[in-house]
Amino acid sequence: MSALTARPAWQALAAHHRQVRGVHLRDLFAADPGRGERLAAEGAGVYLDYSKNRVTDETLRLLVRLADESGLRARIEAMFRGERINATEGRAALHVALRAPAGAAILVDGANVVPQVHAVLDRMAAFAERVRSGAWTGHGGKRIAAVVNIGIGGSDLGPAMAYRALAHYSDRTRAFRFVSNVDATDFVEATRDLDPAQTLFIVSSKTFTTQETMANARSAREWLVRGLGTQAAVAKHFVAVSTNAAEVARFGIDPANMFEFWDWVGGRYSMDSAIGLATMLAVGADHFRALLGGFREMDEHFRSAPFARNLPVLMGLLAVWYADFFGAQSVAVLPYEQYLARFPAYLQQLTMESNGKHVTLDGAPVAADTSPVYWGEPGTNGQHSFYQLLHQGTRLVPCDFIAFAQPLNPLGDHHDLLIANVLAQGEALAFGRTADEVRAEGVAERLVPHRTFEGNRPSNTLLLERLTPAALGRLVALYEHSVFTQAAIWDINPFDQWGVELGKALAQRIVPELAAAPPGAPAHDSSTSALIRRYLQLRR
Set 212, 260, 337, 353: catalytic member: 353
Is position 351 an interface residue for ligand F6P (rule: CB under 6 A)?
no
- Output b/e per residue, 478-515; b: 16+ Cβ within 10 A: bbbbbbbbbbbbbbbbbbbbeeeeeeeeeeeebeebee
Contact between 500 and ligand F6P by CB under 6 A: the answer reads yes
Task: Please list every residue from 30 through 49 that binds ligand F6P, using CB under 6 A.
Answer: none
Does residue number 354 form part of the binding site for ligand F6P (CB under 6 A)? no
Q: Any contact of residue 207 with ligand F6P (CB under 6 A)?
A: yes
Q: How far is the CB of 519 from ligand F6P (least distance, A)?
A: 28
Q: Which is nearer to ligand F6P, 207 or 421 (CB)?
A: 207
Distance between CA atoms of 390 and 397, rounded to whole angstroms? 6
Cβ proximity of 95 and 272 under 8 Å: yes
Question: Considering only 44-52, 184-192, 200-208, 520-528, which stretch makes contact with ligand F6P by CB under 6 A?
Answer: 200-208
Which residues, including other chains, have CB under 8 Å from residue 363's CB and lie 6 or more apart? Answer: none
Residue 63 CB, nearest approach to ligand F6P (Å): 30
Distance from C-alpha of 156 to C-alpha of 154, rounded to nearest angstrom: 5
Beta strands in 407-534 (DSSP E): 459-466
The 10 Å CB-count burial string (b at 16+, else e) for 253-285 is beeebbbbbbbbbbbbbbbbbbbbbbbbbbbbb
Active site residue 384: yes
Q: In this structure, are residues 139 and 229 in contact, taking their beta carbons and an 8 Å threshold?
A: no
Listed residue (271, 395, 394) closest to 332, CA to CA: 395
- Options 56, 70, 86, 205; binder of ligand F6P; rule CB under 6 A: 205
d(CA 302, CA 33): 29
The SS3 assignment for 359 reads strand
* Residue 95 Cβ vs ligand F6P, minimum distance, rounded to whole Å: 13
Asked if residues 133 and 283 have their Cβ atoms less than 8 Å apart, the reply is: no
Nearest distance from C-beta of residue 496 to ligand F6P, angstroms: 9
Which is closer to ligand F6P, CB of 471 or CB of 487? Answer: 487
Give the number of residues in contact with ligand F6P, rule: CB under 6 A.
14
Stretch that binds ligand F6P, among 11-19, 111-119, 149-157, 312-320 (CB under 6 A): 149-157
CA distances from 52 to 36, 191, 375, 397, 476 (A): 8, 47, 20, 13, 22
If binding is defined by CB under 6 A, does position 213 make contact with ligand F6P?
yes
Residue nearest to ligand F6P (CB): 267
Question: Which one of 3-11, 35-43, 207-215, 360-368 is the stretch in contact with ligand F6P (CB under 6 A)?
Answer: 207-215
Q: How far is the CB of 497 from ligand F6P (least distance, A)?
A: 5
Q: Are strands 459-466 and 399-406 parallel, antiparallel or unpaired?
A: parallel
Q: Is 360 in the site for ligand F6P (CB under 6 A)?
A: no
Q: Give me the amino acid identity at 67.
A: A
Q: Which stretch binds ligand F6P (CB under 6 A): 67-75, 199-207, 372-380, 458-466?
A: 199-207
- What CA–CA distances, in Å, run from 71 to 1, 65, 77, 489? 19, 10, 10, 8
Contact set for ligand F6P, span 224-283 (CB under 6 A): 267-268
Nearer to ligand F6P, 276 or 458 (CB): 276
Q: Pick between residue 155 and residue 199 the one whose CB is nearest to ligand F6P.
A: 155
User: Cβ closer to ligand F6P: 267 or 455?
Assistant: 267
Q: Based on the shown chain and the rule CB under 6 A, indicate whether residue 357 belongs to the binding site for ligand F6P.
A: no
Spot the catalytic one: 37, 384, 441, 445.
Answer: 384
Round to whole Å and give the CA distance between 162 and 182.
22
Comparing CB distances to ligand F6P, the nearer of 354 and 459 is 354
Taking each helix axis from N to C end, the angle separating 8-20 and 57-69, rounded to the nearest 10 degrees, works out to 160
Q: How far is the CB of 204 from ligand F6P (least distance, A)?
A: 7
The one-character DSSP state at 349 is I
Burial class (CB in 10 A: 0-12, 13-18, 19+), 148: buried
C-alpha triplet 234, 239, 206: angle, nearest 5°? 130
Strand partners, 462: 48, 402
Q: Mask of contacts with ligand F6P, 152-191, x by CB under 6 A?
A: xxxx------------------------------------
Output the smallest distance, CB 155 to ligand F6P, in A.
Answer: 4
Closest CA to 244 of 288, 281, 213: 213
Minimum CB distance to ligand F6P smaller for 217 or for 422: 217
Q: Which is nearer to ligand F6P, 258 or 430 (CB)?
A: 258
The residue among 157 and 311 lying less far from ligand F6P, judged by its C-beta, is 157
Residue 353 appears among annotated catalytic residues = yes
Catalytically active residues, by annotation: 353, 384, 504
Which residues contact ligand F6P (rule: CB under 6 A)? 152-155, 205-207, 210, 213, 267-268, 353, 497, 500
